[in-house]
A and B are shown apart, each in its own frame.
Chain A
Amino acid sequence: NIMLTQPPSVSESPGKTITISCTLRGGNIAGNFLQWYQQRPGSSPTTVIFEHYHRPSGVPDRFSGSIDRQSNSASLTISGLRTEDEGYYYCQSYGDNIKGVFGGGTKVTVL
């Protein structure tokens, strides 16, 4: 079974840039699509990045996704950090056994 590992928390000041990593174990990061979800307190998750790089309509271009084949990881970068970006971010994919998997989540705090 695959496993996705994220840092538990990231903090930064408004206007700065943060990057959240998501390391894949047991699979190939370029093999199956990976998504990033934002979850604000008390709300259901919403997609900020799908299929590694793509932004849904309505998500600002301050959000971008990338993968690094060398480290077998994906990253979510948020530039021009805003207070509204606070919340939890989860990476998600699935394994060759067609079971879904989420990373543990990263709490983003805007100082």
Chain B
Amino acid sequence: EVQLVESGGGLVQPGRSLRLSCVASGFTFDDHSMHWVRQAPGKGLEWVSGISWNGNVIAYADSVQGRFIISRDNAKNSLSLQMNSLRAEDMALYYCTRGAGTNLVGEGYHFDNWGQGTLVTVSS
């Protein structure tokens, strides 16, 4: 059974940093692209960032470009999101999702499995 378990969310002041983690199990981690998707309270889904199976190709939403850094450790089956210079508008439930394919194209952009999410609250 595929499992994606996020952690690292919490309350953080504007301008500070936070690091989210996702541990994957139940599948061959390096056969898949991985992504972060967020959902602000009462709002829709927003794609945040994606990384190819080997970490060589990375993409970010314009809203987080230059502030967030996605990375993966295939030896530890883990995905991370380093979030810097946090803003009130970054407050959301952050989901770790698996791409059905290896790269950031085609089936790699089908989010076929989702975690339960970790909540990030940005407030002073």
Contacts and interface: CB of A to CB of B under 8 A. Distances in A.
Tell whether A and B belong to one assembly: yes
Interface of A: 1, 32-33, 35, 37, 39, 44-47, 50-51, 56, 88, 90, 92-94, 97-105
Contacts of A44: 95, 114-117
A104 B39 CA distance: 11
A46 B97 CA distance: 11
9 contacts: A33-B109, A37-B45, A44-B95, A44-B114, A92-B109, A97-B59, A99-B59, A100-B61, A102-B44
Given A35-B111, A94-B105, A100-B61, 16 more contacts: A35-B109, A37-B45, A45-B45, A45-B95, A45-B114, A47-B111, A88-B44, A97-B59, A98-B57, A99-B59, A100-B35, A100-B47, A102-B37, A102-B46, A104-B44, A105-B44
A45 B105 CA distance: 20
A105 B110 contact: no
A90 B45 contact: yes
B40 to A, nearest CB: 12
Most chain-A Cβ atoms within 10 A of its Cβ — which of B107, B111, B115?
B111
Contacts, number: 73
Nearest to A49: B110
Q: Which size bracket describes the interface of B in this complex?
A: 20 to 34
B59 A100 contact: yes
Contact of B112 (A39, A56, A90, A101): A56
Contacts of B114: 44-46
B47 A90 contact: no
